[in-house]
């Protein structure tokens, strides 16, 4: 189990670091929860905002344990669990793939057959050379947890269709050991590649309507109910000075219209009213979130009655239809703002720009919004999640402690923009570090000696 943290440093630069890499003896929720708790305690983390995991039932149990044990949780921990978007996207696309599973599986098997043998790879490349087929990429296997890897596999494979035909002639075992893809399989996979490349236009392709329906059903299962989404997803949008609640109002209206049955359409005024009801509830929860951090960080109270000027611009100009439709219609008052929160929400939006640096904006405006500053930093800083990690055959022969040390150290050194330590001798002067290193080296040497004795006997 790998535990990764995202945090913002003192210069407001986002970082991602692996802080634990553990071997689990059991994948029960209780064991996962205890391992995560141990990791959090070892790092001295006192405030955890969110934990992102995939949708396995064991992870739900682990979250329940963490909600009971972790201190200082906002809203009693109800918003602690943020579902892994990458995992959900993968599930959505896997459901779409099911409609043509046989053709896709056939292609996966022939690619695995070829890439698993150096001899077969060489023979396939010779066929490419004979046919004068040039490709910047060679055949690649996919991962069941990454839908885009299946897309890459299919995309490269269909480009090399002629090569597969020659390879089938030159390798007699190919037909015997593997069910080779037919012309129809290649056509289906080629259509799948085109479909995925233009996913937003799926409705224009009648033969893939069923795929689209399955994918939308899976989407609705996790994100279809606007009232059940994690509040932090909304808060993150609100803390973007380009969007705030204006963006959410616009988004809610569009989503409500999309979900509205065509047989019984809602009036536009009803759609707007329903969106406003959602916004009002969200505003109240966002205010509670603000005061949660105000109670923790605001000691002076001096920021309550200050007034500041507005941002200069509020014009939205973008090629995207949704962003182009986002025009601020509310004229907010510019004076007598009672709190830092209302001051931020009532100020005009910052001009929309694709290259806008939100971290830089908050760094420059931290003194104006000291409490919201902590809201923003915490939403990004406190996130933790666990996910899978694949080890190569060489690392799996090492002890768990050595693997964790290698993976974590390599990642921190690789990702660090600054020198982590001035002198390695300073680290070794720490008795605990020196003792841990000696113990790990001794354990590894004993393990290697035992393996050597066993092999000799």
**How many angstroms separate the CA atoms of 191 and 244, rounded?**
40
105-109, 164-168, 451-455: least confident range: 451-455
Which two structure tokens, joined as six digits, stand for 104? 């896709």
Across 210-236, average pLDDT: 79
Q: Are the C-beta atoms of residues 276 and 354 closer than 8 Å to each other?
A: no
Rounded to an integer, the average pLDDT of 360-385 is 73
pLDDT over 90 at 389, yes or no? no
Measured CA to CA in angstroms, residue 112 lies from 94, 130, 149, 332 at distances of 19, 22, 13, 61
Q: Are the C-beta atoms of 69 and 284 separated by less than 8 Å?
A: no
Burial of 354 (0-12, 13-18, 19+ CB in 10 A): exposed
The whole-angstrom distance between residue 189's C-alpha and the CA centroid of its chain comes to 27
Residue from 337, 284, 290 nearest 310 by CA: 337
Tokens of 299: 């000691």
Strand order in the sheet with 383-387: 14-21, 2-8, 383-387, 50-53, 81-83
pLDDT at 310: 36
Mean pLDDT of 57-84: 87
Pairing verdict, β 14-21 and 50-53: unpaired
Token pair 């007699």 is found at 172
Structure tokens at 162: 């002629």
Contact (Cβ atoms closer than 8 angstroms) between residue 48 and residue 384: yes
The pLDDT of residue 248 is 92
**CA–CA separation, 341 and 332 (whole Å):** 14
Residue 278 pLDDT exceeds 90: yes
Q: Of the given ranges (183-192, 336-345, 390-399), which has the lowest mean pLDDT?
A: 390-399
Tell me which of 40-49, 303-312, 356-365, 367-376 is least confident. 303-312
- 280: pLDDT confidence band, cut at 50, 70 and 90? very high
Cβ-contact 6, 383 below 8 angstroms: yes
Q: In the chain, what percentage of residues exceed pLDDT 90?
A: 7
Q: Going by DSSP bridges, is the β-strand pair 383-387/81-83 parallel, antiparallel, or unpaired?
A: unpaired
231, 80 contact by CB (below 8 A)? no
Place of tokens 């999640």: 385
Mean pLDDT score across all residues of the chain: 75
CB neighbourhood size of 171 (10 A): 19
Counting residues of the chain whose pLDDT is more than 70, the rounded percentage is: 70
Q: How far apart are CA 340 and CA 101, in angstroms?
A: 55
Mean pLDDT of 407-435: 60
Over residues 336-347, the pLDDT tens digits come to 335 788 889 988
Q: Which residue has the higher pLDDT, 201 or 105?
A: 105
Instruction: Give the pairing type, strands 50-53 and 81-83.
Output: parallel
Reported as a pLDDT band with limits 50, 70 and 90, residue 427 is low
pLDDT given for residue 292 in this prediction: 85
**Could you tell me the sign of the dihedral formed by the alpha carbons of 432, 438, 441, 444, in that order?**
negative
Rounded CA separation 120/28 (Å): 41
Which has more confidence, 324 or 288?
A: 288
Average pLDDT value for residue range 285-310: 63
Q: How many residues are present in the chain?
A: 457
- Please report, to the nearest 10 degrees, the dihedral formed by the alpha carbons of residues 56, 59, 60, 62 taken in order: 160
What is the rounded average pLDDT of the residues 426-444?
68
């Amino acid at each position: 189990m790998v535990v990764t943290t995202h945090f913002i440093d003192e210069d407001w630069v986002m970082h991602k670091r692996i802080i634990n890499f553990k071997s689990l003896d059991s994948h029960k929720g209780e064991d996962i929860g205890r391992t995560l708790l141990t990791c959090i305690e070892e790092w001295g983390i006192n405030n955890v905002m969110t934990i992102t995991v995939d949708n396995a039932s064991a992870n739900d149990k682990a979250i329940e344990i963490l909600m009971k044990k972790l201190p200082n949780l906002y809203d009693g921990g109800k918003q602690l669990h943020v579902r892994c978007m990458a995992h959900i996207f993968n599930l959505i696309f896997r459901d779409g793939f099911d409609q043509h599973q046989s053709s896709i599986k056939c292609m996966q098997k022939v690619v695995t057959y070829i890439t698993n043998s150096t001899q077969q790879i060489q023979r396939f490349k010779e066929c490419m050379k004979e046919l004068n087929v040039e490709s910047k990429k060679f055949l690649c296997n996919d991962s069941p947890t990454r839908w885009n890897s299946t897309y890459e596999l299919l995309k490269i494979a269909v480009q090399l269709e002629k090569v597969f035909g020659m390879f089938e002639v030159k390798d007699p075992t190919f037909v015997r050991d593997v069910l080779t893809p037919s012309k129809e399989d290649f056509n289906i996979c080629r259509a799948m590649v085109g479909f995925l490349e233009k996913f937003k236009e799926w409705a224009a392709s009648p033969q893939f309507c069923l795929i689209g329906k399955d994918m939308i059903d899976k989407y609705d299962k996790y994100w279809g109910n606007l009232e059940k989404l994690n509040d932090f997803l909304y808060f993150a949008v609100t803390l973007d000075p380009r969007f705030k609640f204006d963006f959410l109002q616009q988004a809610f209206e569009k989503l409500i219209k999309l979900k509205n049955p065509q047989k019984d359409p809602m009036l536009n005024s009803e759609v707007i009213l329903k969106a406003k009801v959602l916004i009002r509830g969200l505003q109240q929860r966002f205010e509670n979130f603000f005061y949660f951090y105000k109670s923790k960080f605001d000691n002076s109270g001096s920021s309550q009655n200050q007034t500041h000027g507005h941002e200069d611009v509020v014009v939205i100009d973008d090629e995207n239809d949704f962003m182009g439709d986002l025009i601020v219609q509310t004229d907010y008052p510019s004076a007598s703002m009672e709190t830092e929160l209302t001051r931020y929400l009532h100020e005009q939006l910052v001009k929309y720009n694709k290259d806008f640096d939100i971290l830089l904006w908050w760094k420059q405006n931290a003194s104006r919004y000291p409490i919201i500053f902590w809201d923003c930093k915490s939403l990004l800083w406190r996130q933790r999640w666990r996910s899978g990690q694949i080890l190569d055959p060489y690392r799996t022969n090492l002890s768990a402690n050595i693997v964790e040390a290698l993976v974590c150290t390599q990642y921190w050194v690789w990702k660090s923009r600054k020198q982590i330590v001035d002198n390695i001798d300073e680290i070794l002067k720490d008795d605990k570090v020196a003792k841990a290193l000696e113990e790990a080296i001794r354990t590894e040497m004993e393990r290697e000696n035992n393996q050597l004795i066993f092999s000799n006997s």
